[in-house]
Amino acid sequence: MGLGDRFLVLYAGIHGIAQGLETVLQAARQLAGDPRIHFIFVGDGPCKADLLRLKRDTNLPNVTMLDAQPREAIPAYLSAADVALIPLRRLELFKGAVPSKMFDAWACGCPVVLSIDGESRQVLERAHAGVFVEPESAEAMAETIRALSTDSDRCRAYGRNGRRFVEAHYSRQAQAKQLVELLEALTT
């Protein structure tokens, strides 16, 4: 993509109301003065046109917005990214949400900046594979991204932890083993 060795912050997914991606653009605006950090949005959705307009109106050269990509192309983006963003708005409804994109990022060794409280946060903390930031807080998101952009060792450790966590708990092999154990417990 011609971005060199910039610290790449990736959001890949639907550009909908629930994600609150305006917050990500606000964080990008706060970090626009740091030429080392670049945001990449991959996807489409009902809010995409508004987000493109906001990007244009706020003159964000540190943001690239790409069209939706086939699901099989996403691992390449995750592998190239330094962190994956996984945001949702601050609603009680989302406290039980655990987006699959968190596991996709970890499977690629990509650490996560998670902006969802509740069950997702608990999984993140168990995995030691990223950082939680308060939902809809552009300041906290920008501060976290800035800190991670200067700590490559920490990012690599989070990525390794995420990969190990997915392999141990969410791989097909781990899921099959859990199913066998459950079935055996039910039949004894």
Tell me the CATH number at 182: 3.40.50.2000
What tokens appear for 61 in the block?
A: 């050269």
pTM comes to 0.91
1 within a domain of the structure (yes/no): no
2 within a domain of the structure (yes/no): no
140 within a domain of the structure (yes/no): yes
What is the residue whose two structure tokens read 């999984």?
123
pLDDT in the model for residue 158: 98
Dist. CA 74–CA 68, nearest whole Å: 10
State the pLDDT confidence band at 66, using cuts at 50, 70 and 90. very high
177 within a domain of the structure (yes/no): yes
The number of distinct structural domains making up the chain is: 1
**Could you report the per-residue pLDDT of 122-176, keeping only the tens digit for each?**
999 999 999 999 999 999 999 999 999 999 999 999 999 999 999 998 777 777 7
19 within a domain of the structure (yes/no): yes
161 within a domain of the structure (yes/no): yes
Domain range for 147: 7-187
Length of the chain: 188
**Could you report the per-residue pLDDT of 16-48, keeping only the tens digit for each?**
999 999 999 999 999 999 999 999 999 999 999
